[in-house]
């Protein structure tokens, strides 16, 4: 019945990778509790992190601030006091030259990117403006957010072997072209799905290109700096005027509050606030209220490097060892270098079946993964590589991760 919908309605209401991912997540958590969930981006249940948020909620109950949080609307750009506090945190701890005018609070980085992509690109004064993704594979949630055809364009990576059974994707600056129709560039860092972290030179070069062509560089920091800081090589990208940074509260253990902060030039912040008034009226208050006191001391600064990052580093090493033992030398495989985020990105070179078919077979064996082709979009050429890849998460309990990875390895070996 999609034909009864508008062009935009069909674009948004039809099947998509992100819809399939979230449907699978929801089913795994409710109707299929025996499913081994190795596909989503849900953060792990880290005891110290859960304890912190329980303590904050108890404090809000005790001091009565929970009433104000639940009973009032905030302005569409976010609570003014929170915006001031967040700007002060960024300036004090990381040296970003920002004020509250540079901060917009949004109901998730996903919705913020949707608004940004369609604010900056699309049909513009009779011309087509586009968003450039300089480093595929890229986040599945972006793929279907364009409201006009041809609004996204992407660049294939350079694939470098960094160690036995290990690769890294690099921005291919020889391929990258900033044509007059490019309205902005966007990259996630660490990249979802691969965990790739831009090198300092790549970051500086992308910023210089954006400045030269007077376009924004959008950096989605959902897994990275300044929190939760799941970046294993210490890279800390710094916001500068002309850039747009997205910072999410989801990966510090709060995906359910749906809150993100955008750091941008004031005219972008104002535009996003106006758009948010139309599509959401206001933001959720709970996430801002939970986080605000932690922006004033060193709790949040310690949480990432002392608790969250080591947890995921240990889980990453565990998952890699399980998978390496299960696959051995029986098939040609490689993982992306483990630089950040919550995922393993597995490449089976020469996989005889498509990753989508492998996904289907694994689902029948009660293991959920995400096939790699969903992370490749904005290209008009055939690219076999992502059809040989899977995104795997290791956020679930270790026995589930072990069982899931061993089944994945077994199914891969069977396919050859």
> What pLDDT digit, counting tens, does each position of 124-174 carry?
888 999 999 999 999 999 999 999 999 999 999 999 999 999 999 999 999
pLDDT score of 31:
64
pLDDT bin (cut points 50, 70, 90) of residue 199 is very high
pLDDT surpassing 70 at residue 30: no
**Closest Cα partner for 260 from 229, 291, 217?**
291
pLDDT score of 40:
78
Which one-letter DSSP state was computed for residue 385? G
pLDDT score of 238:
96
Which one-letter DSSP state was computed for residue 140? G
Q: Tell me the pairing of strands 333-336 and 343-348.
A: antiparallel
One fold for 2-49+302-415 and 74-299: no
Boundaries of every domain in the chain: 2-49+302-415, 74-299
**Closest Cα partner for 386 from 412, 348, 335, 352?**
348
Q: Kindly state the average pLDDT of the residues 313-332.
A: 96
pLDDT surpassing 90 at residue 313: yes
pLDDT score of 27:
62
Give the number of residues written for the chain. Answer: 416
Which residue's structure tokens are 């699309």?
122
Angle (nearest 5°) at CA 305 between 201 and 85:
90
pLDDT score of 33:
74
pLDDT score of 29:
57
pLDDT bin (cut points 50, 70, 90) of residue 22 is low
pLDDT score of 15:
75
CA–CA distance, 385 with 374 (Å, rounded to integer): 12
Mean pLDDT of the chain: 93
Angle (nearest 5°) at CA 219 between 312 and 98:
105
Q: What angle do helix axes 266-279 and 109-120 make, rounded to 10 degrees? A: 110
**Lowest mean per-residue pLDDT among 195-199, 282-286, 319-323:** 282-286
- Domain 74-299, what fold? 3.40.640
Q: What is the pLDDT of residues 214-273, one digit of tens each?
A: 999 999 999 999 999 999 998 999 999 999 999 999 999 999 999 999 999 999 999 999
CA–CA distance, 65 with 295 (Å, rounded to integer): 17
Q: List alpha helices for 304-397, DSSP H.
A: 309-327, 355-364
pLDDT score of 390:
98
pLDDT surpassing 70 at residue 274: yes
pLDDT surpassing 60 at residue 408: yes
CA–CA distance, 351 with 389 (Å, rounded to integer): 9
Contact 252, 228 (CB under 8 A): yes
Q: Kindly state the average pLDDT of the residues 399-415.
A: 97
Contact 110, 141 (CB under 8 A): yes
Structure-token pair, residue 210:
């954006």
pLDDT surpassing 70 at residue 2: no
CA–CA distance, 39 with 368 (Å, rounded to integer): 5
The CATH number, out of the four listed (3.90.1150.10, 1.10.510.10, 3.30.750.80, 1.10.3720.10), of the domain defined by the range 2-49+302-415: 3.90.1150.10
pLDDT surpassing 90 at residue 21: no
- Percent of the chain predicted with pLDDT > 90: 87
166 strand-pairing partners = 163, 335
pLDDT surpassing 80 at residue 116: yes
Q: What is the pLDDT of residues 66-113, one digit of tens each?
A: 999 999 999 999 999 999 999 999 999 999 999 999 999 999 999 999
Q: Kindly state the average pLDDT of the residues 354-363.
A: 96
Q: What is the pLDDT of residues 54-75, one digit of tens each?
A: 999 999 999 999 999 999 999 9
CA–CA distance, 214 with 222 (Å, rounded to integer): 25
């Amino acid at each position: 019945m999609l034909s009864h919908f508008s062009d935009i309605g069909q674009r948004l209401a039809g099947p998509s990778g992100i819809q399939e991912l979230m449907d699978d997540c929801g089913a795994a958590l409710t109707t299929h509790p025996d499913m081994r969930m190795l596909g989503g981006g849900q953060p792990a249940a880290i005891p110290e992190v859960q304890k912190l948020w329980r303590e904050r909620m108890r404090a809000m109950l005790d001091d009565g601030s929970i009433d104000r949080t639940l009973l009032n609307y905030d302005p569409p750009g976010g609570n003014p006091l929170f915006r001031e506090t967040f700007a002060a945190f960024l300036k004090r701890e990381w040296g970003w030259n920002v004020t509250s005018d540079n901060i917009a609070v949004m109901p998730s980085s996903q919705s913020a990117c949707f608004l940004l992509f369609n604010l900056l690109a699309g049909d513009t004064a009779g011309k087509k403006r586009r968003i450039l993704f300089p480093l595929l594979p890229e986040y599945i949630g972006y793929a279907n957010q364009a409201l006009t055809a041809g609004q996204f364009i992407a660049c294939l990576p350079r694939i470098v072997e960094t160690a036995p059974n290990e690769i890294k994707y690099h921005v291919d600056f020889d391929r990258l072209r900033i044509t007059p129709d490019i309205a902005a560039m966007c990259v996630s860092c660490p990249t979802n799905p691969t965990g790739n972290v831009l090198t300092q030179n790549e970051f500086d070069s992308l910023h210089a290109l954006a400045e030269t062509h007077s376009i924004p560089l959008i950096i989605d920091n959902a897994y990275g700096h300044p929190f939760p800081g799941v970046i294993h090589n210490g890279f800390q990208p710094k916001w500068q005027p002309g850039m747009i940074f997205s910072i999410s509260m989801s990966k510090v253990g709060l995906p359910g509050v749906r809150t993100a902060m955008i750091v941008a030039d004031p005219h972008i912040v104002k535009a996003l606030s106006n758009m948010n008034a139309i599509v959401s009226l206001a933001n959720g208050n709970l996430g801002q209220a939970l986080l605000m006191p932690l922006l004033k001391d060193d709790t949040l600064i310690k949480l990432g490097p002392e608790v969250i990052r080591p947890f995921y580093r240990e889980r990453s090493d565990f998952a890699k060892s399980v998978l390496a033992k299960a696959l051995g030398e029986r098939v040609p495989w490689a993982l992306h270098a483990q630089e950040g985020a919550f995922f393993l990105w597995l490449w089976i070179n020469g996989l005889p079946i498509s990753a989508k078919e492998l996904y289907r077979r694994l689902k029948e064996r009660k293991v959920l993964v995400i096939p790699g082709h969903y992370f490749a979009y904005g290209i008009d050429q055939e690219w076999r590589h992502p059809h040989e890849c899977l995104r795997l998460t290791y956020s679930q309990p270790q026995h589930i991760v072990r069982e899931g990875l061993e089944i994945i390895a077994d199914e891969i070996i069977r396919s050859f």
